[in-house]
């Protein structure tokens, strides 16, 4: 049985969806003025927008209604083995999703302006990159999971079956990303949603989201050349082998964290 949604029981659910949507728009709006500044300021802008646009509004809403923020959004300490399995499963998704994104990017190439912005996140110094890393790995993962798996997920779960909720939140999560990335983000959204549905702990989707962002940021930093608009990836050379190997490893990791939903042996 899914744990009680105190916020959903006391506030009109359509209003909660509206609040979640407006929070996301505020989160995006507050970032915009920083995009033309130096890299470290871009990172600080992302952190500011996450706190002011998402965390604080949700925190204030819970406080006004006398609902503990941590309880409402189900922040709990992750089990060690389950957390490691979630981390490994996230890394297993990199090869197949890189292949998928490259394939889609061949038909719907990313905007060159967007690629230029992404390249700028490397920064000119490790200080710049460190600030961006905190922003992208910490603030982005926290803010987006609070909205999609924290607010939207819980509201939809009151009215739709779990599987439908997972799919709907994955689609909502995908449509706010660039077109070429949408299929891959849908897969990520399904994974994050399954984590939330099974483990009932928002810490796990945040962890998976953070690991995914960190892995991509490390790859971005290690690439000194201009980003390839054709979205080529080294995994494409042996795409079938990479996909099958990743699927097998993902299944093994999935078995571990799935069991964590019914056992306490991983504490």
The residue extents of the domains of the chain are 6-259
Statement: residue 259 has pLDDT above 80 = yes
pLDDT at 224: 66
Q: What's the pLDDT tens digit per position in 141-196? A: 999 999 999 999 999 999 999 999 999 999 999 999 999 999 999 999 999 999 99
User: Residue 223's pLDDT is what?
Assistant: 75
More confident call, 45 vs 224: 45
Residue 1 has pLDDT above 60, yes or no: no
For range 203-223, the mean pLDDT: 92
pTM for the structure as a whole: 0.94
Identify the pLDDT of residue 53.
97
265 — pLDDT class (breaks 50, 70, 90): very low
pLDDT reading at 35 higher than 80: yes
The pLDDT of residue 264 is above 50? no
**117-129 tens-digit pLDDT:** 888 888 888 899 9
Q: Tens digits of per-residue pLDDT, 50-99?
A: 999 999 999 999 999 999 999 999 999 999 999 999 999 999 999 999 99
Q: Dihedral sign for Cα 23, 162, 99, 224, please.
A: positive
Task: Please check whether residue 135 is in contact with residue 51, taking contact to mean a CB–CB distance below 8 angstroms.
Answer: no
Mean pLDDT over each residue of the chain, to the nearest integer: 91
Distance CA 254, CA 248 (A): 10
Give the lowest-confidence range in 61-70, 107-116, 239-248.
Answer: 107-116
Please check the confidence at residue 266 and state whether its pLDDT lies above 50: no
pLDDT at 111: 87
């Amino acid at each position: 049985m899914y744990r009680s949604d105190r916020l959903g029981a006391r506030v009109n659910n359509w209003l909660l969806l509206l609040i979640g949507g407006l929070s996301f728009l505020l989160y995006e709006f507050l970032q915009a003025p920083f995009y033309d500044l130096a890299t470290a300021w871009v990172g600080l802008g992302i952190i500011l927008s996450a706190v002011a646009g998402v965390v604080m509004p949700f925190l204030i809403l819970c406080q006004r209604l006398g609902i503990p923020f941590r309880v409402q959004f189900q922040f709990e300490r992750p089990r060690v083995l389950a957390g490691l399995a979630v981390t490994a499963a996230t890394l297993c998704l990199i090869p197949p999703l890189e292949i998928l994104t490259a394939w889609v990017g061949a038909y719907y190439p990313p905007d060159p302006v967007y690629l230029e912005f992404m390249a700028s996140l490397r920064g000119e110094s490790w200080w710049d990159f460190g600030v961006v890393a905190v922003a992208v790995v910490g603030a982005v993962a926290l803010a987006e999971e609070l909205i999609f798996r924290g607010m939207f997920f819980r509201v939809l779960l009151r009215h739709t079956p779990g599987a439908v909720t997972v799919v709907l939140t994955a689609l909502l999560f995908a449509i706010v990303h660039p077109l070429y990335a949408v299929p891959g983000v849908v897969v990520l959204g399904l994974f994050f949603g399954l984590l939330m549905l099974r483990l009932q702990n928002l810490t796990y989707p945040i962890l998976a989201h953070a690991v995914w962002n960190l892995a991509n940021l490390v790859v971005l930093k290690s690439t000194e050349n201009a980003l390839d608009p054709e979205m080529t990836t080294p995994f494409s050379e042996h795409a079938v082998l990479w996909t099958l190997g990743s699927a097998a490893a993902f299944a093994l990791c999935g078995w571990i964290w799935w069991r964590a939903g019914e056992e306490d042996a991983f504490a």
